[in-house]
Structure 1
Amino acid sequence: MPARRRADAERNYARILAVAEEQVAAHGVNASLEQIARIAGVGSATVRRHFPTRRELLEAVSRERIEALGARARQLIDSEDPRNALIEWLNEVVAYSVAARGLAAVLAPDDTAPDPAHVNSCSGILDDAATPLLQRAARAGAVPASVTLSDLLMLIAGIAMATEHHPDAAAQAGRLFRLAVDGLSPLG
């Protein structure tokens, strides 16, 4: 969001964002941009002026949740057990991703962007906040050093997208995430 806008542009931005939050919650990432514009009382060009891509709109809708997840990662950094702290945080990301339709798409990498690190600000917020949590778990031997936060977020995005239409998406996503954490082979 630019630092300074006209008052009417600020009102339009806020109205579009509020409507987009409702529409994404109801319809997921495929919420109609034209419907958002219509309900917000603006033209579709106004929506596109504020949010040139669907992904930018989804990031704006998800920003508050993403910032809360970042804050939670920072809270957990000094936990006694680095593995449990990482798993606890990842469980919260799974829960958010399932509850907030559209968030999983924001977490997934955008291969069409020229520089995803700069385009996907939500992933950047999480990366800055949670990479130290992951690195601490890796130093403790709880996860392989080759695992990146991007790997984990992609896994969670995949789980959330795969369970989106399940009758009990939260339970199914939690079960699949535990399966990924525990692995396929029983410990012996």
Structure 2
Amino acid sequence: MAIPRLAGAAPAYLQQQLSFFAAGKRTSFWMTPFARALTPQQMRAVAAYYAAQSAPVEADAEALVPVPAGRHARGQTVFETGGGGAGVMPCAGCHGPAGQGMGPFPPLAGQSAPYVLGQLRRWKRGSDRDPMGKIMVMEVRGMNDADMQAVAAFVQSLSGNGPGSGSGNAQ
């Protein structure tokens, strides 16, 4: 099971995701009961803690996957300009040119390829009740699996998130 890197994410984004888990708008075997046990004040504290953390310089070797030749370049193209298929918007438009996250959109830089690919495939299946996830369901409609793999590999290659790197434009 791949898990997301939370270090450096915008505190507002993290708090929102905790509230989605608590309300059942987003589900996870691990996160739903944890989030439901938190008070709003505790959610703010958890979000602030993770937002202030720096991502490790080296990710877990288990989380990193080798990137086949040509896939990195294709992933960069889709990330920066779209082009993964009809109506595919560039990831950078919402997640920032370096994948640092912008406003309500989380940082992608340094996320493991298996995690990103799993999320993209989940959205492609249309299985997301999270209001923000519904945006991604629309965004990945035109992507094929090869482009999803390429984007996941490219995102993994971006530098990790520093403290608060995703919080610059957070609302």
TM-score (norm 2): 0.33
Structure ranking higher on relative contact order (CA contacts 8 Å, 6+ apart): 2
TM-score (norm 1): 0.31
Between structure 1 and structure 2, the one with the greater Rg is 1
